[in-house]
Amino acid sequence: MPTRSSNRWYILTILTLVYALNHIDRQIMVILQEPIKTEFALSDTQLGLLTGIMFAAFYAILGIPIAAWADRGNRRNIIALALSIWSGMTALSGLAGNFWHLALARMGVGIGEAGGTPPATAMIADMFPPKRRALALGIYTTGISFGILIGFILGGAVAAKYGWRTAFFVAGVPGLLVAALMMLTVAEPVRGGAEALIDTGETPSFSETIKFFLSQRAMVSLLLGGVFVCISANAFLVGIPLYLIRVHEVPIAELGVALGLLMGGLGGIGAIGIGALCDKLSDKDLRWRPWMILITGVIAFPFIVWFLNAPDKQTAYLAYAVPGIVGLLYASISYTAMQELAPLRMRAMASAVMLLSLTLIGIGFGPVLVGMLSDYFTPALGDRAIQRALMWILVFNVLSVIFYLDSARHYKKGVERALKN
């Protein structure tokens, strides 16, 4: 057996690759919605269920017990096992014969993916000090970008030539190989190593952990702000392909490339570049964590409105460039902030609580909500119903402002409390 590496940059690279596979397997469903809808004669609400709550419920709820396991056990092994499960279930999605077969496969993907993020973010927090943490988590979050980029382009190209079923097979198999690579080459990081914290090995009980989290006002407000942004982000993630296909008649192969570059390519640049800027500004004032999410969201808002009212697809692509750059930023900075607001042996649980909140509500109900709104407006607006539905979703972006501002007010005090526990 080869020697397992403890090099933090190598481990971060592998974790980012795993996160990319996470989002390839998750987002390939998004690009394949229209051909699946046609074959199974589904409504937009049913599409929302497949991309939302049927995946997210298992993903979110199982994140809590898996995080508790990760705060006690070997996080590398947990991630490798989880990767094997979700990759296998993605491949099985290609065998679905009806809506319920596909729903069961998506539930299986959710069960596997629940074991990915909480252990990974806790490992990264143990390897990188606070002044480099947003950059490290920004790099990790580029897994979302690469996942969207590859998932959309691969899904669109394979579906156009070989059908949507083959696209699921192609997306699922590589994860099984990466799981083996991780087991063979990655070492488990020392807990608290980046901050020279003493790990007593004593893990607080679940009730003690939740009690502490609820007493952290900065954490509660950060979660609420993140939930509202996540509802909107995931509604748009599944709604934008439908909008471009139905309103601007974009072919699926072109759609995969366009959205892969706009959401994935630009999103990765933003996550790393703005994440590094956030680290630099946070050295002077920690409140830049929630401030950065808020400011970039406000900047992107008018461009999203422009995108939804674009007269043609070229204008739509141009308008979405700014939201594409900042669209993934809330995730990397939110996970960074949660790690800083949590004591050492609560870090995986902090990520799991964030995961539960964003996934169950944001990923779970964002797609369902936009699907229901689209179905509601369809009798009057036809193919443009999805456009009206997405306009209504923007209300959640506005609501998030209140909570990010409140989180910033209490952030410094929250970090101080976490370091003392």
Residue 348 pLDDT > 90: no
Tell how many helices (H) and how many strands (E) occur in the chain.
Answer: 23, 0
Q: What's the mean per-residue pLDDT of the chain?
A: 85
CB 18 within 8 A of CB 182: yes
Residue 211 pLDDT > 90: no
pTM of the predicted structure, to 2 decimals: 0.73
CA distance 378 to 388: 10
Q: What is the pLDDT at residue 201?
A: 56
CA distance 328 to 263: 8
CB 158 within 8 A of CB 170: yes
Residue 1 pLDDT > 50: no
Phi-psi region of 372 (alpha: psi -120 to 50; beta: other; left: phi over 0): alpha
Model confidence over 194-210: pLDDT tens digits?
555 555 556 677 787 88
Q: What is the pLDDT at residue 194?
A: 56
Model confidence over 226-282: pLDDT tens digits?
899 999 988 998 899 999 999 999 998 898 888 888 887 887 788 778 878 887 888
Return the exposure string of 274-287: e unless at least 16 CB atoms fall within 10 Å of the residue's CB, then b: bbeebbebbeeebb
- The tokens describing 363, both together, are 């990923």
Looking at the domain that runs over 8-189+206-420, which CATH code has it been given?
A: 1.20.1250.20
Residue 59 pLDDT > 80: no
Q: What is the pLDDT at residue 392?
A: 96
Count of CB atoms situated within 10 Å of the CB of 2: 6
Q: What is the pLDDT at residue 136?
A: 82
Residue 379 pLDDT > 90: yes
Q: What is the pLDDT at residue 196?
A: 53
Tell me the domain boundaries of the chain: 8-189+206-420
Choice among 59-73, 139-153, 353-367 with the minimum mean pLDDT: 59-73
CB 277 within 8 A of CB 285: no
Choice among 103-107, 153-157, 338-342 with the minimum mean pLDDT: 338-342
Residue 419 pLDDT > 50: yes
Could you tell me which of 293, 301, 322 has the C-alpha nearest to residue 141?
Answer: 293
Please give the share of the chain, as a percent, with pLDDT higher than 90: 30
Q: What is the pLDDT at residue 195?
A: 56
How large is the average pLDDT for residues 61-89?
A: 84
